[in-house]
């Protein structure tokens, strides 16, 4: 039997294009859904970049 190869989360994030782009096309490394939390989270649109900022 051959072993299954597993890719790390970092490699998958780079292939997905996270951490790259300019202004409105920028994809952040982390989204709100990526981190578990019991606290409140908000999403607002940036005035200059017109992209979503997750706080």
d(CA 46, CA 4): 42
Residues 6+ apart with CB under 8 A from 46: 52, 53
Q: Which residue has the higher pLDDT, 2 or 29?
A: 29
Residue 2 forms part of a structural domain = no
Q: Does residue 16 form part of some domain?
A: yes
Range of the domain at 15: 9-54
Asked if the structure places residue 31 within a domain, the reply is yes
Q: Is 4 inside any structural domain?
A: no
Average pLDDT for 41-55:
80
Instruction: Assess if residue 17 is contained within a domain.
Output: yes
Q: What is the pLDDT of residue 35?
A: 73
Could you tell me if residue 3 is inside a domain?
no
State residue 1's pLDDT score. 55
- Tens-digit pLDDT profile for residues 38-47: 777 777 888 8
- Its pTM stands at 0.49
Q: Tell me the per-residue pLDDT of 14-38, one tens digit each, with 9 for 90 and over.
A: 888 888 888 878 888 887 777 777 7
Domain count, the chain: 1
3-state secondary structure of 37: coil
Please count the residues of the chain.
Answer: 55
Q: Does a structural domain hold residue 1?
A: no
């Amino acid at each position: 039997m051959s072993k299954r190869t597993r890719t790390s989360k970092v490699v998958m994030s780079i292939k997905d294009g996270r951490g790259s782009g300019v202004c409105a096309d920028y994809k952040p490394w982390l989204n709100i859904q990526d981190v578990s939390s019991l606290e409140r989270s908000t999403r607002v649109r940036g005035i200059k970049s017109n992209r979503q900022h997750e706080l």
